[in-house]
Structure 1
Amino acid sequence: MKTSIRVLCLGSLLAVSAVAGAQTYGPKDEGRRFNDGSKVVCHNVEVQRNSKDPNRITGTATGAVVGGLLGNQVGGGNGKKLATVAGAVAGGAAGRQIQGNQQSKNGDRVVERRCERQYR
């Protein structure tokens, strides 16, 4: 019991120290040099904002249901089962693609300045 508590505490301390060691840099740090020869480099990145479903779960799920229903109308027996599964997979892929296209047309695209430490 005591060993498991010690292991749990040690694991928690390691996790906290890993998070605490993560450093973020902003545009004000650009060009900053460190003793190990690394420096902070910034670049512009285009990102999309205002997307309520960035993983396109809604489009995938809707497409899978519709595709499965359509696939279920085809064949009989095991062929019907196979057609249902194939329809669900194809419909899910199509729904994901359609939602992605809509999001890229309707979403706000902004340019952000992101900075990171670059090692040589």
Structure 2
Amino acid sequence: MNTPRYLLSVGLMSVMSAAAAQTYGPQDEGRRFDDGSRVVCKNVEVRQNSRDPNRVAGTAIGAVIGGLLGNQVGSGNGKKVAIVGGAVAGGAIGRKVQGNQQETKGDRIVERRCERVYR
């Protein structure tokens, strides 16, 4: 057979990754395996339909405001450091504020999630 070895190894790796990515559903709850593991399911509350899950808007707005506030401080090289520091701090604060808003106003649903648990 003239099949190159790398094709065989790629095929083997794809089969192994598919086996490792096994997912379980509610129909598998209680299923036991030979290694002593079993499938356990539980209800989990999750957020749904968040328009900006990465909080880009809050980070950007906070960075701009922080940079503007940093511009009001110092002179020369100190002013440049204050602008950058203000932008970084403002971005972090803006991201946190937007995250808090999304937590309180986000849509929540309950999903049944199942996973394989080892002893």
TM-score (norm 1): 0.84
Q: 1:26 to 1:98 in 2, by over 3 A?
A: same
Residues 90 and 11 from structure 1, CA distance in 2 versus in 1: closer, same or farther, beyond 3 angstroms?
A: farther
1:68 is aligned with what amino acid? G
Distance 1:91 1:14 in 2: 49
Task: Report the equivalent of 1:105.
Answer: 104
Secondary structure (helix, strand or coil) at the match of 2:27 reads helix
CA distance in 2, matches of 1:105, 1:16: 41
- Structure 2 counterpart of 1:53, which letter? D
* % identical aligned pairs: 70
Q: CA offsets per residue over residues 36-70 of structure 1, 9 Å max, x none?
A: 11110011111111112212122112211221122
For these two proteins, the number of residue pairs brought into alignment is: 115
Name the residue aligned to 1:33.
32
Question: Which runs of 5 or more residues in structure 1 are unaligned?
Answer: none
Q: Which amino acid aligns with 2:58?
A: G
Query: How large is the RMSD of aligned CA atoms in angstroms?
Result: 1.9
- Residue 53 of structure 1 aligns with which residue? 52
Distance 1:80 1:53, change over 3 A: same
Moved more, 88-97 or 12-21: 12-21
Consecutive aligned runs of 4 or more in structure 1 exceeding 6 Å deviation: none
Amino acid at match of 2:46: V
Paired amino acid for 2:56: I
Per the normalisation by structure 2, the TM-score is: 0.85
Post-superposition shift, 1:73?
2.2
* Structure 2 segments unaligned to the other structure (5+ residues): none
Alignment of 1:86-97 (within 5 A): 86-97=85-96
